[in-house]
Amino acid sequence: AAGVIQSPRHLIKEKRETATLKCYPIPRHDTVYWYQQGPGQDPQFLISFYEKMQSDKGSIPDRFSAQQFSDYHSELNMSSLELGDSALYFCASSLALRGLAADNEQFFGPGTRLTVL
């Protein structure tokens, strides 16, 4: 079965540079979520999109922005990178079926490991 695809898998950037992470959800999933996991930490929710609209916002820095496109893929844009942004960035997708008794079962991609030097 198709899974969530993230690209790139690894990314190395210098401080103050920008980075764009991409996420391709499982086909027919309408909701995308972004999480950040620092070394030795639990994943922290950043932001989510449902049907191309932002649905929930977590601890996402103002330097980061994200969007979901008409084909449901999503991009996380990160500017003015800092050393502390080095982390694993996960994307997850689900079929939210809002208004119905839905599972909202989230499936995660393999993650993008961002290293800021």
Between residues 31 and 74, which has the closer beta carbon with respect to other proteins? 31
Binding site for other proteins (CB under 8 A): 31, 33, 35, 42-45, 48, 50, 55-56, 58, 88, 90, 92, 94, 96, 98, 103-111, 113
Say which amino acid occupies 104. N
The helix (run of H) or strand (run of E) holding residue 55 is strand 53-57
Between residues 74 and 106, which has the closer beta carbon with respect to other proteins? 106
Least Å from the CB of residue 16 to other proteins: 26
Dist CA 36 CA 103 (whole Å): 23
Q: Is 108 helix (H, G, I), strand (E, B) or coil?
A: strand
